[in-house]
């Protein structure tokens, strides 16, 4: 059996853990290849950001905890994706899709409060259409939006449709603990309760999402594109 290749496309280091950390771990433990594409790999204006050398150590430690195969880092300006040509973001993501052979892609919800998340999402939506223009590129089977605590729940603009989960992946308490461990690898990211990036909030959200689907701890996603092979 050929296993699918997964790609998680995010704006900043730590978004991959916040949005899909436990799912990444579950997939990697099952033998699937999971790669991460971080568009702003240096997050140069992040408050209390360590040196770039220490940040790279943090990234490597976090993805190793989750079993990520490879991380692809861009150098797009932090909190300034709106100043970047849309096509540049799209082409970078397309290159990551080709390099990893991705068939399932996770990315931000376009209603997230963080503007970089929005631009990542719309660029990703364009990039996954690459297989329709390039017959040599493996088709994308599914695109899913993630919820990123401290951004997705702050989608206050009611003129845009907010995150509505329709996919719940059971991950169990142990993988949520690993998710928290991976997030803690990023210096200065975790906060005290009741902040969304606290141990209690992250575990509570997973318990709530699990209860919605009748499972023990889950991460929730919104599937927005799914392509089924008609030969199945």
Which DSSP string do the residues of 19-82 spell out, in sequence order? HHHHHHHHHHHTT-EEEEEESBSS-TT-TT---HHHHHHHHHHHHHHHT-SEEEE-BPPTT-GG
Mean pLDDT of 120-136: 96
Nearest-angstrom CA–CA distance, 28 and 188: 26
**Average confidence (pLDDT) over 153-159:** 89
Residue 100 lies in a domain: yes
**What CATH number corresponds to the domain at position 200?**
3.40.50.10320
Residue 231 domain-assigned (yes or no): no
Counting the structural domains of the chain, the total is: 1
Asked, as a colleague might, if the bond just before 194 is cis with ω within 30 of 0, I would say yes
- On the question of pLDDT at 1 being above 70, the answer is no
Q: Is residue 133 in some structural domain?
A: yes
Band (2; pLDDT cuts 50, 70, 90): low
Give the mean pLDDT of the chain. 95
**Is residue 17 scored above 80 in pLDDT?**
yes
Model pTM score: 0.96
Helix or strand (DSSP H, E) at 199: helix 199-213
pLDDT in tens, 50-70: 889 999 999 999 999 999 999
How far, in Å, are 112, 124, 215, 219 from residue 34 at the CA level? 24, 17, 23, 16
Nearest-angstrom CA–CA distance, 159 and 95:
33
Tens-place pLDDT, residues 213-229? 999 999 999 999 999 87
In a domain, 183, yes or no: yes
| Residue 230: predicted pLDDT | 60
Residues 6 or more apart whose CB falls under 8 angstroms from that of 50 comprise: 58, 187, 188
Query: Strands, E, within 77-160: which ranges?
Result: 104-108, 142-146
């Amino acid at each position: 059996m050929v296993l699918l290749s997964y790609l998680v496309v995010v704006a900043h280091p730590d978004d991959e853990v916040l949005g899909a950390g436990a799912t990444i771990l579950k997939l990697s433990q099952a033998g699937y290849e999971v790669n991460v594409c971080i568009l702003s790999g240096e997050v140069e204006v992040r408050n209390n950001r360590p040196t770039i050398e220490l940040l790279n150590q943090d990234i490597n430690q976090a993805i190793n905890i989750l079993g990520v195969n490879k991380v692809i880092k861009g150098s797009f300006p932090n909190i300034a994706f709106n100043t970047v040509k849309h096509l540049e973001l799209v082409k970078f993501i397309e290159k990551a899709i080709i390099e990893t052979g991705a068939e399932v892609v996770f990315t931000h919800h376009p209603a997230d409060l963080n503007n970089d998340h929005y631009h990542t999402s719309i660029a990703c939506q364009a990039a996954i259409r690459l297989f329709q223009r390039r017959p040599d590129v493996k088709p994308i089977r599914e695109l899913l939006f993630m919820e990123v605590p401290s951004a997705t729940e702050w989608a206050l603009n009611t003129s845009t449709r907010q995150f509505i989960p329709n996919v719940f992946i059971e991950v169990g308490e142990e993988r949520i603990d690993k998710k928290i461990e991976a997030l803690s690898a990023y210096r200065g990211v975790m906060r005290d309760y009741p902040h969304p990036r606290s141990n209690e909030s992250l575990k509570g959200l997973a318990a709530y999402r699990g209860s919605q689907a009748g499972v023990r701890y889950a991460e929730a996603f919104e599937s927005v594109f799914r392509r089924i092979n008609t030969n199945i």
